């Protein structure tokens, strides 16, 4: 699906997504990654839902977002609360959704000027 944006320059925005990929600023990515308004961290080593650990979320916390959108792939799946505990304790909001919803939500929050991190499993 293509996303149409207007008025957003200088920030990372999702311009599309589909099975096995996301498109950021018209560039296609086919691997798990973390997207912030000012930075893309490619090849996030959380490649499958079953392999996600608390350390993956600790890394996201180190990026100092105010909110984390965890995109769990094509299917919504909730991680065990112990995995996201450090984010919650640091006062960082965590929303879990499928990756397509995370892309759409990220664009809305970024357009509002929020420092959001989209941690996506592809």
User: Is residue 54 over pLDDT 90?
Assistant: yes
Q: What is the rounded distance in angstroms from the CA atom of residue 26 to the CA atom of residue 14?
A: 8
For residue 21, count other CB atoms closer than 10 A to its CB: 13
Q: What is the rounded distance in angstroms from the CA atom of residue 106 to the CA atom of residue 13?
A: 8
pLDDT for 9: 63
Angle (deg, nearest 10), helices 81-89 and 54-62: 20
What is the mean predicted confidence (pLDDT) over 100-119?
A: 97
What share of the chain has pLDDT > 70, as a percent?
Answer: 93
Domain boundaries of the chain, sorted by first residue: 31-120
What is the mean predicted confidence (pLDDT) over 65-79?
A: 97
What is the mean predicted confidence (pLDDT) over 56-77?
A: 97
- For 90-101, how does the pLDDT look when each residue is reduced to its tens digit (9 = 90+)? 999 999 999 999
CATH of 31-120, one of 3.40.1230.10, 3.90.1150.10, 3.10.350.10, 3.30.1360.120: 3.40.1230.10
Between 108 and 4, name the one with better pLDDT.
108
């Amino acid at each position: 699906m293509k996303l149409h944006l207007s008025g957003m320059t200088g920030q990372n925005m999702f311009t599309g997504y589909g099975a096995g990929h996301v498109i950021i600023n018209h560039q296609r990515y086919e691997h798990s990654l973390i997207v912030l308004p000012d930075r893309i961290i490619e090849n996030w080593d959380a490649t499958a839902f079953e392999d996600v650990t608390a350390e993956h979320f600790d890394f996201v916390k180190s990026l100092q977002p105010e909110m984390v959108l965890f995109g769990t792939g094509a299917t919504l799946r909730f991680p065990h609360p112990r995995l996201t505990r450090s984010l919650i304790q640091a006062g960082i909001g965590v929303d879990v959704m499928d990756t397509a919803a995370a892309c759409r939500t990220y664009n809305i929050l970024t357009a509002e000027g929020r420092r959001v991190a989209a941690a996506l499993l592809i």
